[in-house]
Structure 1
């Protein structure tokens, strides 16, 4: 299958990279991705310790948009958080660091979701948003295992669900809405590379971790891991 342009950011300049990632964020915010993710994160937040800040890991953070949104939500709820956002691409990391420089509760670090450089149970909660389809199956299994290892309470992996209607919608967005050539190329391809609910359940089984798959409207999957 074709490769997404965001998987090889050397072919994209910083301005186009940032524009594409922002378009992805807007789709995620207004078309069901964020509600699905936050629904499950908030459930884990209720179980988090009350005597200290909740330690959160954001794998494949991108522009750290979800971390920023979670920080704002936590501020309103008076729940202190310490968020570590990791990404494997140095240029994306630089953009994320610039975007979060004013937020003390977020730190950005280089990291590979398949081999996280943190000890067991280093975090309370972990999440990975809209990135699982970038991994081949064997690597996706490693991501789930690593999240389970480093997150004490649980983790959430949200992504697109592969479905003909979702692909048609992405093609329409690419034609009428998205302006970045990167998003126009990657959007429909992301749906083609995404997993079905059954395939996602098989990933959890292969990873040998405790978890289940939740489907959310429209065409979103949430893999939720727990103790």
Structure 2
């Protein structure tokens, strides 16, 4: 299976940052953060929360954290936000875009076991992991989650592949985004994939399809 250029540590910071800007544009025009904020709406309503801590794994440029900050301000929910990304350039990019909260630069599996958050989420990160690491990540999530965790990732299907292939070219996006966008779709998931991976991990999880062509996989903290 083809690899994404963004995963190559040999890329320059300028190219990495330009690609993050392109991905943030795609997230914005596809309303990619709506499933996350709806998930948080349900959580605070069910558990009567007025505050929560949240860790975004593979936070990239921080656009999901900024969306949650806006959601918290609108809902009157105090949010303690954290981003985690192993790229040494991610935090600098996120800060220049006004991302609030704390930041952790490390491999996710190096996070100390006592670091736990009410919510742990990730968007468009899981498809970067090979199956063995994704199963390990599924086991990692409950251990670092107090209330609920959420994975949002791509549905592997020809319709989003064609839309991303054409859209990134029509919008004259960065070459890395033009290459990585369709590759990401091909590295995405079907329901059968998630059923198999969750069973192999042995974790409690619910899987549902959400717009636009995404999977939402969520479960409780340990």
Output the TM-score relative to the length of structure 1: 0.89
Provide the C-alpha distance between the structure 1 equivalents of 2:86 and 2:211, rounded to a whole number of angstroms.
29
Residue pair 1:97, 1:108 contacting (<8 A) in 2 also:
no
Q: Classify 1:34/1:178 alpha carbon distance in 2 versus 1 (closer, same or farther; 3 Å).
A: farther
For residues 52-201 of structure 1, the aligned pairs below 5 Å read 53-100=51-98, 103=100, 106-119=101-114, 122-201=116-195
Structure 1 stretches of at least 4 aligned residues deviating more than 6 Å after TM superposition: none
Q: Classify 1:70/1:23 alpha carbon distance in 2 versus 1 (closer, same or farther; 3 Å).
A: same
Provide the C-alpha distance between the structure 2 equivalents of 1:96 and 1:174, rounded to a whole number of angstroms.
22
Q: 1:70-98 CA distances to partner (integer Å, 9 max, x unpaired)? A: 01110121111101110011122332244
Residue of structure 1 equivalent to 2:7: 7
Paired residues in the alignment total 221
Residue pair 1:61, 1:85 contacting (<8 A) in 2 also:
yes
Q: Classify 1:138/1:96 alpha carbon distance in 2 versus 1 (closer, same or farther; 3 Å).
A: same
Give the deviation of 1:32 after TM superposition: 4.1
Q: Classify 1:155/1:178 alpha carbon distance in 2 versus 1 (closer, same or farther; 3 Å).
A: farther
Q: Classify 1:115/1:146 alpha carbon distance in 2 versus 1 (closer, same or farther; 3 Å).
A: farther
In the alignment, is residue 35 of structure 1 matched against residue 30 of structure 2?
A: no
SS of residue matched to 2:133: helix
Residue pair 1:204, 1:212 contacting (<8 A) in 2 also:
no
> Please, which runs of 5 or more residues in structure 2 have no aligned partner?
none
Residue pair 2:135, 2:197 contacting (<8 A) in 1 also:
yes
Residue pair 2:13, 2:89 contacting (<8 A) in 1 also:
no
Residue pair 1:56, 1:83 contacting (<8 A) in 2 also:
yes
Residue pair 1:58, 1:127 contacting (<8 A) in 2 also:
yes
Give the deviation of 1:48 after TM superposition: 5.1
Provide the C-alpha distance between the structure 2 equivalents of 1:43 and 1:108, rounded to a whole number of angstroms.
26
Residue pair 1:86, 1:111 contacting (<8 A) in 2 also:
yes
Provide the C-alpha distance between the structure 2 equivalents of 1:40 and 1:205, rounded to a whole number of angstroms.
23
Output the TM-score relative to the length of structure 2: 0.91
> Please, which runs of 5 or more residues in structure 1 have no aligned partner?
none
Provide the C-alpha distance between the structure 2 equivalents of 1:215 and 1:222, rounded to a whole number of angstroms.
6
Provide the C-alpha distance between the structure 1 equivalents of 2:139 and 2:126, rounded to a whole number of angstroms.
13
Give the deviation of 1:199 after TM superposition: 0.3
